Amino acid sequence: MKPRPDEATSEQKLIERARAGDRTAFNGLVERYQHRAYGLALRMLGNPDAAADVTQDAFISAFRAISSFRGSAFQTWLFRIVANGCYDYHRARNRHPIVSLDEALEHEQTLDVLPGQESRLSEELVEQYWEPERSALRGETIALLERLLLRLPPEQRTAVILCDIQGMAYEEIAQVTDASLGTVKSRISRARAHLRVLLATEGELSGRGRRPESEPSMAERRNISE
Protein backbone atom coordinates (compact mmCIF):
# COMPACT_ATOMS: atom_id res chain seq x y z
CA MET A 1 0.00 0.00 0.00
CA LYS A 2 2.93 2.32 0.44
CA PRO A 3 4.20 3.79 -2.81
CA ARG A 4 7.43 2.41 -4.22
CA PRO A 5 10.44 4.72 -3.93
CA ASP A 6 10.17 6.11 -7.43
CA GLU A 7 6.47 6.58 -7.02
CA ALA A 8 7.03 8.24 -3.70
CA THR A 9 9.33 10.85 -5.22
CA SER A 10 6.99 11.65 -8.03
CA GLU A 11 4.12 11.80 -5.58
CA GLN A 12 6.13 14.20 -3.45
CA LYS A 13 6.60 16.38 -6.51
CA LEU A 14 2.90 16.33 -7.25
CA ILE A 15 2.16 17.38 -3.70
CA GLU A 16 4.69 20.20 -3.89
CA ARG A 17 3.17 21.55 -7.06
CA ALA A 18 -0.34 21.10 -5.78
CA ARG A 19 0.62 23.17 -2.76
CA ALA A 20 1.59 25.92 -5.13
CA GLY A 21 -1.91 25.78 -6.59
CA ASP A 22 -1.22 23.54 -9.54
CA ARG A 23 -4.49 21.75 -10.18
CA THR A 24 -3.09 19.50 -12.84
CA ALA A 25 -0.59 18.21 -10.35
CA PHE A 26 -3.30 17.70 -7.81
CA ASN A 27 -5.33 15.81 -10.36
CA GLY A 28 -2.39 13.49 -10.66
CA LEU A 29 -2.96 12.68 -7.02
CA VAL A 30 -6.67 12.34 -7.63
CA GLU A 31 -6.07 9.80 -10.34
CA ARG A 32 -3.78 7.87 -8.07
CA TYR A 33 -6.18 7.66 -5.12
CA GLN A 34 -9.70 8.14 -6.38
CA HIS A 35 -10.45 4.47 -6.81
CA ARG A 36 -9.51 3.70 -3.25
CA ALA A 37 -11.18 6.80 -1.88
CA TYR A 38 -14.44 5.98 -3.63
CA GLY A 39 -14.24 2.37 -2.53
CA LEU A 40 -13.85 3.46 1.05
CA ALA A 41 -16.80 5.83 0.89
CA LEU A 42 -18.97 3.28 -0.85
CA ARG A 43 -18.30 0.56 1.67
CA MET A 44 -18.93 2.96 4.47
CA LEU A 45 -22.15 4.39 3.11
CA GLY A 46 -23.57 1.67 0.91
CA ASN A 47 -24.95 4.31 -1.43
CA PRO A 48 -23.12 4.97 -4.72
CA ASP A 49 -24.45 8.50 -5.20
CA ALA A 50 -23.64 9.55 -1.68
CA ALA A 51 -20.24 7.92 -1.97
CA ALA A 52 -19.55 9.82 -5.17
CA ASP A 53 -20.54 13.10 -3.53
CA VAL A 54 -18.42 12.45 -0.49
CA THR A 55 -15.46 11.47 -2.66
CA GLN A 56 -15.75 14.57 -4.81
CA ASP A 57 -16.06 16.76 -1.75
CA ALA A 58 -13.08 15.10 -0.17
CA PHE A 59 -10.86 15.93 -3.12
CA ILE A 60 -12.12 19.49 -3.23
CA SER A 61 -11.46 19.89 0.48
CA ALA A 62 -8.09 18.24 0.14
CA PHE A 63 -7.03 20.62 -2.59
CA ARG A 64 -8.12 23.59 -0.54
CA ALA A 65 -6.32 22.32 2.51
CA ILE A 66 -3.23 20.93 0.81
CA SER A 67 -1.01 23.57 2.36
CA SER A 68 -1.76 22.11 5.78
CA PHE A 69 -0.74 18.62 4.73
CA ARG A 70 2.64 17.87 6.23
CA GLY A 71 4.78 14.93 5.19
CA SER A 72 3.79 11.37 6.05
CA ALA A 73 1.25 9.55 3.96
CA PHE A 74 -1.07 11.37 1.63
CA GLN A 75 -3.41 8.42 1.63
CA THR A 76 -3.85 8.52 5.39
CA TRP A 77 -4.60 12.22 5.28
CA LEU A 78 -6.98 11.84 2.37
CA PHE A 79 -8.81 8.90 3.92
CA ARG A 80 -9.37 10.90 7.04
CA ILE A 81 -11.13 13.53 4.98
CA VAL A 82 -13.21 10.86 3.28
CA ALA A 83 -14.13 9.17 6.55
CA ASN A 84 -15.11 12.49 8.10
CA GLY A 85 -17.15 13.26 5.04
CA CYS A 86 -19.03 10.01 5.54
CA TYR A 87 -19.78 10.87 9.16
CA ASP A 88 -20.88 14.36 8.14
CA TYR A 89 -23.12 12.84 5.54
CA HIS A 90 -24.92 10.90 8.21
CA ARG A 91 -25.27 13.95 10.42
CA ALA A 92 -26.48 16.28 7.68
CA ARG A 93 -29.13 13.83 6.67
CA ASN A 94 -30.28 13.54 10.25
CA ARG A 95 -29.24 9.98 10.12
CA HIS A 96 -28.29 9.27 13.62
CA PRO A 97 -26.89 5.92 12.71
CA ILE A 98 -28.59 3.21 14.62
CA VAL A 99 -25.59 3.36 16.87
CA SER A 100 -27.43 2.78 20.08
CA LEU A 101 -29.36 -0.16 18.71
CA ASP A 102 -26.40 -1.64 16.99
CA GLU A 103 -24.06 -1.15 19.87
CA ALA A 104 -26.47 -2.95 22.10
CA LEU A 105 -26.76 -5.69 19.53
CA GLU A 106 -23.05 -5.87 19.10
CA HIS A 107 -22.52 -6.14 22.78
CA GLU A 108 -25.04 -8.94 23.04
CA GLN A 109 -23.79 -10.78 20.06
CA THR A 110 -20.17 -10.84 21.05
CA LEU A 111 -21.12 -12.11 24.45
CA ASP A 112 -23.33 -14.77 22.92
CA VAL A 113 -20.51 -16.49 21.17
CA LEU A 114 -18.69 -17.98 24.09
CA PRO A 115 -15.80 -20.38 24.05
CA GLY A 116 -16.85 -23.97 23.77
CA GLN A 117 -19.85 -23.15 21.68
CA GLU A 118 -19.95 -23.14 17.95
CA SER A 119 -17.62 -20.45 16.80
CA ARG A 120 -16.66 -21.46 13.33
CA LEU A 121 -18.88 -21.04 10.38
CA SER A 122 -19.68 -24.44 8.96
CA GLU A 123 -17.59 -25.51 6.01
CA GLU A 124 -20.78 -26.04 4.10
CA LEU A 125 -21.87 -22.49 4.66
CA VAL A 126 -18.55 -21.03 3.63
CA GLU A 127 -18.23 -23.22 0.55
CA GLN A 128 -21.33 -21.71 -0.99
CA TYR A 129 -19.75 -18.28 -0.89
CA TRP A 130 -17.15 -19.07 -3.48
CA GLU A 131 -16.99 -19.62 -7.17
CA PRO A 132 -15.52 -22.98 -8.11
CA GLU A 133 -11.96 -23.49 -6.90
CA ARG A 134 -12.30 -20.46 -4.68
CA SER A 135 -11.22 -18.24 -7.51
CA ALA A 136 -13.53 -15.46 -6.46
CA LEU A 137 -16.53 -14.70 -4.33
CA ARG A 138 -19.91 -15.30 -5.85
CA GLY A 139 -21.93 -12.23 -6.71
CA GLU A 140 -24.46 -13.07 -4.05
CA THR A 141 -21.77 -13.25 -1.44
CA ILE A 142 -20.51 -9.82 -2.37
CA ALA A 143 -23.99 -8.40 -2.00
CA LEU A 144 -24.41 -10.20 1.29
CA LEU A 145 -21.16 -8.93 2.74
CA GLU A 146 -21.88 -5.38 1.61
CA ARG A 147 -25.25 -5.57 3.31
CA LEU A 148 -23.88 -7.00 6.51
CA LEU A 149 -21.12 -4.42 6.68
CA LEU A 150 -23.77 -1.73 6.83
CA ARG A 151 -25.23 -3.43 9.88
CA LEU A 152 -22.13 -2.73 11.90
CA PRO A 153 -21.86 0.35 14.05
CA PRO A 154 -20.07 3.01 11.99
CA GLU A 155 -16.86 2.96 14.00
CA GLN A 156 -16.51 -0.80 13.70
CA ARG A 157 -17.41 -0.67 10.06
CA THR A 158 -14.81 1.98 9.32
CA ALA A 159 -12.09 0.14 11.18
CA VAL A 160 -12.65 -3.23 9.55
CA ILE A 161 -12.99 -1.69 6.10
CA LEU A 162 -9.71 0.16 6.48
CA CYS A 163 -8.03 -2.99 7.75
CA ASP A 164 -9.39 -5.77 5.57
CA ILE A 165 -10.46 -3.93 2.46
CA GLN A 166 -7.95 -1.12 2.29
CA GLY A 167 -5.17 -3.15 3.87
CA MET A 168 -4.06 -0.49 6.29
CA ALA A 169 -1.98 -1.07 9.39
CA TYR A 170 -3.49 -0.36 12.79
CA GLU A 171 -1.34 2.72 13.23
CA GLU A 172 -2.60 4.22 9.99
CA ILE A 173 -6.17 3.36 10.89
CA ALA A 174 -5.65 5.08 14.21
CA GLN A 175 -4.63 8.24 12.38
CA VAL A 176 -7.47 8.10 9.91
CA THR A 177 -10.08 7.60 12.61
CA ASP A 178 -8.40 9.70 15.28
CA ALA A 179 -8.55 6.83 17.75
CA SER A 180 -6.05 5.02 19.92
CA LEU A 181 -4.37 1.82 18.83
CA GLY A 182 -6.26 -0.10 21.50
CA THR A 183 -9.57 1.25 20.25
CA VAL A 184 -8.70 0.29 16.68
CA LYS A 185 -7.76 -3.22 17.75
CA SER A 186 -10.99 -3.56 19.70
CA ARG A 187 -13.19 -2.27 16.89
CA ILE A 188 -11.69 -4.60 14.32
CA SER A 189 -12.04 -7.56 16.61
CA ARG A 190 -15.65 -6.77 17.42
CA ALA A 191 -16.45 -6.11 13.80
CA ARG A 192 -15.17 -9.51 12.76
CA ALA A 193 -16.97 -11.27 15.58
CA HIS A 194 -20.15 -9.39 14.76
CA LEU A 195 -19.91 -10.27 11.09
CA ARG A 196 -19.33 -13.87 11.93
CA VAL A 197 -22.51 -14.01 13.96
CA LEU A 198 -24.43 -12.26 11.19
CA LEU A 199 -23.11 -14.72 8.64
CA ALA A 200 -24.06 -17.64 10.84
CA THR A 201 -27.62 -16.41 11.31
CA GLU A 202 -28.32 -14.77 7.97
CA GLY A 203 -25.59 -15.89 5.69
CA GLU A 204 -27.32 -18.64 3.84
CA LEU A 205 -27.42 -17.82 0.15
CA SER A 206 -30.55 -18.49 -1.84
CA GLY A 207 -29.01 -20.25 -4.79
CA ARG A 208 -27.77 -23.30 -3.00
CA GLY A 209 -29.88 -25.70 -4.98
CA ARG A 210 -32.59 -25.65 -2.37
CA ARG A 211 -35.83 -23.79 -2.67
CA PRO A 212 -35.32 -20.00 -2.77
CA GLU A 213 -35.27 -18.48 0.66
CA SER A 214 -36.67 -15.10 1.37
CA GLU A 215 -34.85 -13.00 3.92
CA PRO A 216 -37.24 -13.48 6.84
CA SER A 217 -37.25 -17.20 6.64
CA MET A 218 -33.47 -17.27 6.48
CA ALA A 219 -33.37 -15.41 9.71
CA GLU A 220 -35.81 -17.82 11.25
CA ARG A 221 -33.73 -20.83 10.44
CA ARG A 222 -31.08 -20.04 12.96
CA ASN A 223 -28.84 -22.94 13.54
CA ILE A 224 -26.65 -21.50 16.21
CA SER A 225 -26.47 -24.09 18.87
CA GLU A 226 -27.29 -21.78 21.76
Partner 1 sequence: MNGEPGVDHHDMIEQRELLSAYLDGELSARERQALAEHLTSCDVCREELDALRQVRTLLRALPSPALPRSFTLPETGALPTTTVRATGRTRYRPRVAHVAQWAGGVAAAAGFALLIGSAMLGHSPITAAPSAASNAFVPAAGAAHVAPTGTQNLLQHTGSAGAAATPNATAHLYDRATATPVPSSANLAAEHISETADIGQTVQAVLPYAGAGLASGGLLLLVGGSVVARRQRP
Residues at the interface with partner 1 (CB under 8 A): 23-24, 26-27, 30-31, 34-39, 42-43, 48-50, 52-61, 63-64, 85, 88-89, 91-94, 96, 110-111, 113-116, 119-121, 126, 129, 136-137, 141-142, 145-146, 160, 163-165, 169-170, 185-186, 188-189, 192-193, 195-196, 199
DSSP string, 2-22: PPPHHHHHHHHHHHHHHHTT-
The nearest distance, CB 193 to partner 1, in angstroms, is 6
Half-sphere exposure of 189 (CA within 13 A, CB side): 9
The nearest distance, CB 174 to partner 1, in angstroms, is 11
Q: Which is nearer to partner 1, 146 or 217 (CB)?
A: 146
The nearest distance, CB 50 to partner 1, in angstroms, is 7
Q: How many angstroms separate the Cα of 33 from the Cα of each of 27, 57, 169?
A: 10, 14, 17
The nearest distance, CB 164 to partner 1, in angstroms, is 4
Q: How many angstroms separate the Cα of 36 from the Cα of each of 3, 7, 32, 145, 194?
A: 14, 17, 9, 18, 25
For residues 26 and 20, give the distance between their C-alpha atoms in angstroms, rounded to a whole number.
Answer: 10
Q: Which is nearer to partner 1, 75 or 141 (CB)?
A: 141
Q: Which is nearer to partner 1, 35 or 217 (CB)?
A: 35
Per DSSP, the three-state class of 9 is helix
